[in-house]
Structure 1
Amino acid sequence: MQTVRSVRSVSLRRSAEKSSVSGKARQTTLKPHVNAVRQVHSLRCLRPVSRGRTHISAVAVPAEPPSEAPVQGLPDDIILSGLQGKALKINEWPSKSELLGCIPKHCFKKDTVRSMYHAAVCTAMTVACGLIGYYLIPMKLAFAPVWAAYAAVTGTVATGCWVIAHECGHMAFSDNKILQDTVGYILHTALLVPYFSWQRSHAVHHSKTNHLSEGETHVPYVQGQKKGDGTMARREKFGDTIYGTVRLLTHLIFGWPAYLIAGATGGPVRGVTNHFLPFMGAEGKHKLFPGQWTAKVYWSDLGIVGFLGLLGYWAAQVGAAKVALVYGAPLCFTNIWLVLYTWLQHSDTDIPHYDGDDWNFVKGALCTVDRPYGAVLDFLHHRIGSTHVAHHVNSAIPHYHALEATNAIKAAYPDHYLYDPTPIGEAMWRVAVKCGAVAPYGDDGKWVFRQASPA
């Protein structure tokens, strides 16, 4: 065991040396902003930072005692999450092969029968909820609270179907590619998700996780740039309560359609993208849908148009209001869960982003955070939020092996594995209010959400 630890230590030191060398050579579009923003923060952090009109504790209270002691000596404008700044202490990284090597080999094996069972169960539960709403809840104003509860429950259950389709897109469902894509295409199309389009953009997200300019989805704004300074100014003007509430509503309700239609929160190098129109956005190496993906986008469009036609026919038979309540309202909740999961998986006050040569795949994967969603949601959503680190280490691991893979990563690399025990509601509010725009921290390429904005 001592020999293994010595080898890993040497490997980590070599990895750190390589990272240091590449960091010195980096050329990024953000580099002109770095020195200026660092200088501003070194001055601003010497005096108290305005927190807005309502107070949120600088250190979130975790559901259980943190395993790590809080990082000491941080600037006043860096707030600790339930991670206690753990991600900010990491300066040595394993290689990708070392990280994959700690996971048991059988965790990568797909069981088609088992995958189909999970797909059938979550589909049956979703259909059962829909039938209850369709046949048992009256279309009367007095039953509005019942319809609201129905939408929340059914949308939450249907998110399980979303996750299964997501697994198909990652080729983690079956070795039978035709069956895999058929299941994924049907489930995602039924939830108005363009299957192949999203498969491609989500693969880009995994390949550039927490990359400040080339990432895909929930890429943060940068202080010293127009959007970053704008969001910091709005928080200062309106205060935490209004700013946080508006940000939550816009992200959770409009975030998913805005991403599909306009690439909202996508990587700035790709411009305005569209999951239905593959020719939009950047050209060249940053084109979101290159080559054969153009045709696949149109195949996805065909499915969406066809399903919208079915919904239109159904509405003509039973009325648009009935369809909106039975299908549309739950879909909104499914979309909310999707945005919430992805937002909290890669964002918090002390989770760094990287850019240029300072970034690499391992850093992105290990700057993903697992959170406590509880037994019910873990069952319904196939542990998508509580085993997400393992999912980013290798997205082809089936969800039913993800917990074992997570435990293996945690045991092999306890200083790198990130788990935040903060209750989800508290974490959601902290991220909405305090994760406005990033600025440099330290000399090793970290970009962190800073609370003091440049003057």
Structure 2
Amino acid sequence: MACTSANSLLRLKGSSFQRPILNLRTNISAPYSPGLFNLKGDGLIHKGFRHQSQKHLTPRNKVTVIRAVAIPVEPAPVESAEYRKQLAERYGFEQIGEPLPDNVTLKDVITSLPKKVFEIDDVKAWKSVLISATSYALGLLMISKAPWYLLPLAWAWTGTAVTGFFVIGHDCAHKSFSTNKLVEDIVGTLAFLPLIYPYEPWRFKHDKHHAKTNMLKEDTAWQPVWQNEFESSPFLRKAIIYGYGPFRCWMSIAHWLVSHFDLKTFRPNEIKRVKISLACVFAFIAIGWPLIIYKTGIMGWIKFWLMPWLGYHFWMSTFTMVHHTAPHIPFKNSEEWNAAQAQLNGTVHCAYPQWIEILCHDINVHIPHHISPKIPSYNLRAAHKSIQENWGKYLNEASWNWRLMKTIMTVCHVYDKQQNYVSFDEVAPKESRPIRFLKKVMPDYA
């Protein structure tokens, strides 16, 4: 799934940044902890140490000396199972995988999968449509009948149910829904309409995400913030801090608005299909919204459409950032990028409560989807089981929890080649009150 913050907030306009050496706080609950690390091609780990208290920061000159010291006879910390276990506990993961060897290719992983996981089953595909249509209708009924104090529960259910429509359209876009490709285009377009998502523009952007996962500049999903962009203006800096902090779970709205309606961002051979999708979306707005307002009023439009739509974007943003954002997962330049490492080692499997998994058609069983988008959603669990058996020690796995979310929202901010990310409150401490607020109020338990 691809959802990203507004491209205008992320795109690098100038050269790489320079800044003082910073040690990123990665410990959320413990008083003293290792800093972030980045596995380089030479197998060395670059990391720093920092005490939680600002008064006890190691002086800069000492940090420089520490980083200059290397003991070749000792294994890099990432090679230590105990160290990876400590990082997993700190970040909210169940497992942080070993680095994938450079000689492993994506084809090696794909060929290890059983052939049956690639088979399209029309009965299972239409069963997913029935589940989504039924659960969405039930959600609308709940909204119509629920007293005001139960409306948040009804909205949560309905927003999650309509996310299932997105997953169906997502399978259609990857040509893994039906053996009939015309049926896929029709179903995909219709499934996206309640979300006001243009199917073809999203499909073209999403294909780039799969081709360039965790590649700097080229990936169309979550990207780290660039330092020079962050420093370009006070207004943009504040917008980025709030967007990647308290409002990060709805940042896909910015991506939806910026990335899918501008014809200039598509290739000439894509324009015709893009225009058809846009026409369908605008027709739905022109007919559907007035009809909702006519029947239920403005408040009805808010209750029946807007609030479930915001619920959908909560999952759209959350799923995507959990799948591809962690302090130990690097973004790499195209020259350094390795497809197998990005798709197997750089994608996170995250287990959610069962009702969410059912309504969202197992889209969070995400590693096999990045190994091959041709695997239908109803075969993802079987594919994941095979990957665990053959490549289990390389996988990043978690169950959705507060510590995981806190790590992403308070740590994974500004791009740094050595540390992967630097937190906003390291780069701009005076302006990062929203981040310090999140660190204070978000619980640490996994």
Query: Under a length normalisation based on structure 2, what TM-score does the superposition of the two structures give?
Result: 0.73
Aligned partner of residue 331 in structure 2, secondary structure:
coil
Q: Secondary structure in 1 aligned to 2:335? A: helix
- Alignment partner for residue 374 of structure 1, among 347, 350, 353? 353
The equivalent residue for 1:291 is 268
Match of 1:270 in 2: none
Aligned partner (choices 159, 165, 178) of residue 174 of structure 1:
178
Counterpart of 1:3 in structure 2 is none
The alpha carbon displacement at 1:147 in A equals 2.0
CA contact (8 A) 1:371 1:424 kept: no
Name the aligned partner's letter for residue 107 of structure 2: S
8 Å contact 1:172–1:396 — kept in the other structure?
yes
Matched residue of 1:419: which SS?
A: strand
Deviation of the 1:414 alpha carbon: 2.4
1:389-430 CA-partner distances (Å, limit 9, x unpaired) = 100000110111111111111221223222124x43321121
Question: After superposition, where does 1:42-441 map in structure 2 within 5 Å?
Answer: 48=50, 68-71=81-84, 80-83=90-93, 86-87=96-97, 89-134=99-144, 136-137=145-146, 143-223=147-227, 225-227=228-230, 247-253=244-250, 255-262=251-258, 274-280=259-265, 289-309=266-286, 310-366=288-344, 367-385=346-364, 387-421=365-399, 423-441=400-418
Name the amino acid aligned to 1:132.
M
Q: Which runs of 5+ in 1 are unaligned?
A: 1-28, 54-66, 138-142, 236-242, 263-273, 281-288, 442-446
SS at match of 1:371: strand
Q: 2:21 aligns with which of 40, 54, 58?
A: 40
Q: Deviations over 1:269-309 (max 9, x none)?
A: xxxxx3112114xxxxxxxx213211121111111111112
- The answer to which of 334-343 and 361-370 deviates more is 361-370
Deviations 1:215-243, CA, capped at 9 Å, x for gaps = 112111244x3327999x979xxxxxxx9
Q: Percent identity?
A: 21
- In structure 2, distance between residues paired with 1:450 and 1:328: 35
Q: Distance in 1 between matches of 2:338 and 2:355?
A: 35
Contact preservation (8 Å) 2:95, 2:395: no
Q: Which residue in the other structure is 1:12 paired with? A: none
SS of the counterpart of 2:347? coil
SS at match of 1:334: helix
5+ residue gaps, structure 2, are 1-11, 25-34, 36-46, 56-79, 430-446
Specify the code of the residue in structure 2 equivalent to 1:187.
A
Compared with structure 1, are the counterparts of its residues 327 and 93 closer, same or farther at alpha carbon in structure 2 (3 Å cutoff)? farther
Q: CA deviation at 1:32?
A: 6.7
Using a 3 Å threshold, how does the CA distance of structure 1 residues 425 and 228 change in structure 2: closer, same or farther? farther
**Counterparts in 2 of 1:200 and 1:167: CA distance versus 1, 3 Å:** same
Q: CA deviation at 1:108?
A: 0.5
Contact 2:140–2:304 (Cα < 8 Å) also in 1: yes
Compute the displacement of 1:210 (Å). 0.5
Cα 1:51–1:420, aligned 2, differ >3 Å: closer, same or farther? farther
Specify the alignment match of 2:444 in structure 1.
Answer: none
Structure 2 counterpart of 1:145, one-letter code: Y
CA distance in 2, matches of 1:179, 1:52: 59
TM-score normalised over the length of structure 1: 0.72
3-state secondary structure, aligned to 1:357: coil
Question: What RMSD, in angstroms, separates the aligned Cα atoms of the two structures?
Answer: 3.6
| Structure 1 residues 331 and 33: CA distance shift in structure 2, 3 A | closer
Counterpart in the other structure of 2:420: 448
